[in-house]
Amino acid sequence: MTPPTPPTRPHLPSRPAQPTRPTLLFYCQHSLGLGHLARALMLTEALQVSFDVVLLNGGRLPPGIRVPPGVEVVDLPSMGQDMAFNRLVSHEPMMSVAEAQARRQRLVMETFDRVRPQVLFIELYPFGRKAFEFELLPLLEAVAARGAARPKVLCSLRDILVNGRVAQVQHDEWVSRRANAFFDGILVHSDPTFARLEESFRPQTPLQVPVYYTGFVAPPAPTSPLHRHQRLLVSSGGGLVGEPLVRAAVNVHAALQADTGLTTTVVAGPFLPEPVWAWLQAEAERSPALTAIRHVPDLAHEIRCSALSLSQGGYNTTMDLLRAGTPAVVVPYSEGNENEQGRRARRLAELGVLRVVPPAELRPDRLLAELLGALASRPQVVPLNLEGAGATARILGELLGNPLDELAGPNTKPSPRMTGEVA
């Protein structure tokens, strides 16, 4: 996911009063991992075919991450939430939370005024990121104040939401009211035969805005011939919460090689804590069957070129697995109320795509048995729509009233779309 050389991200001058293409302002805030950012970047790559795209990035941007050519990135002072999602934290060493909030709010509004977008695309909010309402609510109120000249406001939403909060009913009600007040539509990046919004979102006040199912946002289908290395590839997204998975993989790597001949390559992720990364490097130096890599340019490609995969169950990694057809074991992240990975992984396991080890059962014997079982089986090919990036660009263009042929491009294939009110 991270190439060796960071791209140049120019800060473009103010846009002309009548741009030749519609302008889209995309707000994305990632916290624990890189999944939200990775999906946003795949979407911007498809969107920039038809839109001038400006990405408001609110989280840490690892060195070298690939930004699609032609996409302007405005880096806000980096913030996130603590591991318990109880409070905001500033990732800027010389900036307090209050100072970062004030500077971010100012930069968000300055960018909105400069860009004058026809589309405002907000990732996850209001279904999540309530802690960032200090900058999002003023932005939405400024949009509403423009009246008939206001941009279209859309929410970019993954397939399955976290639910099971102590105050889930009140949360869903608040979300529905916010969406009805400020948004023109919700784009759910899911195949509706796999997951529908109403399964994890049940407000008392129905959504009045349309819901569009784009299909899953996945990497492009591979075109090169397949050559699999005789290895287990271990990955945990950004790596911030990947330590248990990494240690479990190291614990079984020698037994795995003895049983199958496979070596183990661990892609640690840029946010794996430094002490754990140092330990992993030392373990790799001692074992010829173990390789440690901080990050790779294209994780989807590395999964496809491996005989076996071990990972968490985030949206992007599971899309990589669906594209790759690689035998896989998933250990979904499930700390606190984070239950979406487990629900996604269980559904894919029921379809025969992968095997699941619950985090509480991450013992060496159980993990090794599941890895051997996955290697001995062939993942099922399931007819899920993986063309969500191109469909997103088409839907947004249609909402602006542009003919479909004006949106044609290499990443914009026709895709089924479903709309409907969610009760």
Would you state the structure tokens that stand for residue 299, as one six-digit string?
């994780």
Q: What is the pLDDT of residue 76?
A: 96
Q: Which residues make Cβ contacts (< 8 Å) with residue 280, sequence separation at least 6?
A: 246, 250, 266, 268, 272, 292
Same fold, 23-216+386-407 and 229-376: yes
Q: How confident is the model at residue 119 (pLDDT cuts 50, 70, 90)?
A: very high
| pLDDT (tens digit per residue) in 284-329 | 999 999 999 999 988 999 999 999 999 999 999 999 999 999 999 9
The pLDDT of residue 116 is above 90: yes
Q: How confident is the model at residue 20 (pLDDT cuts 50, 70, 90)?
A: confident
Q: Which residues make Cβ contacts (< 8 Å) with residue 254, sequence separation at least 6?
A: 287, 289
| pLDDT (tens digit per residue) in 46-96 | 999 999 999 999 988 877 688 899 999 999 999 987 766 678 888 888 899
DSSP, collapsed to helix, strand or coil, labels residue 310 as strand
Beta-strand relationship, 88-90 and 185-188: unpaired
Q: What is the pLDDT of residue 85?
A: 65
DSSP, collapsed to helix, strand or coil, labels residue 414 as coil
Q: Which of 123-137, 153-167, 265-279, 356-370 has the weakest average pLDDT?
A: 153-167
- The alpha carbons of the chain give a radius of gyration, in whole angstroms, of 21
Q: What is the pLDDT of residue 8?
A: 39
The pLDDT of residue 10 is above 50: no
Give the Cα separation of 79 and 172 in Å (integer): 25
Q: What is the pTM of this model?
A: 0.87
Q: Which of 122-126, 164-168, 253-257, 328-332 has the weakest average pLDDT?
A: 164-168
According to CATH, the topology of domain 229-376 is Rossmann fold (3.40.50)
Q: What are the sequence ranges of the domains in the chain?
A: 23-216+386-407, 229-376
The pLDDT of residue 208 is above 90: yes
The pLDDT of residue 231 is above 70: yes
Classify domain 23-216+386-407 by CATH number.
Answer: 3.40.50.2000
Q: Which residues make Cβ contacts (< 8 Å) with residue 274, sequence separation at least 6?
A: none
- Nearest of 272, 273, 276 to residue 235 by alpha carbon: 272
Give the Cα separation of 340 and 346 in Å (integer): 10
| DSSP-based helix, strand, coil % in the chain, nearest 5 | 35, 15, 45
Question: Which of 6-15, 80-89, 331-340, 346-355 reaches the highest mean pLDDT?
Answer: 346-355
Would you state the structure tokens that stand for residue 339, as one six-digit string?
């239950």
Beta-strand relationship, 328-330 and 152-157: unpaired
Give the Cα separation of 92 and 76 in Å (integer): 10
| pLDDT (tens digit per residue) in 151-160 | 999 999 999 9
Q: How confident is the model at residue 165 (pLDDT cuts 50, 70, 90)?
A: low
Q: Which of 140-149, 221-230, 242-251 has the weakest average pLDDT?
A: 221-230
Q: How confident is the model at residue 230 (pLDDT cuts 50, 70, 90)?
A: very high
Q: What is the pLDDT of residue 166?
A: 67
The answer to whether residues 347 and 194 touch, using CB atoms and an 8 Å cutoff, is yes
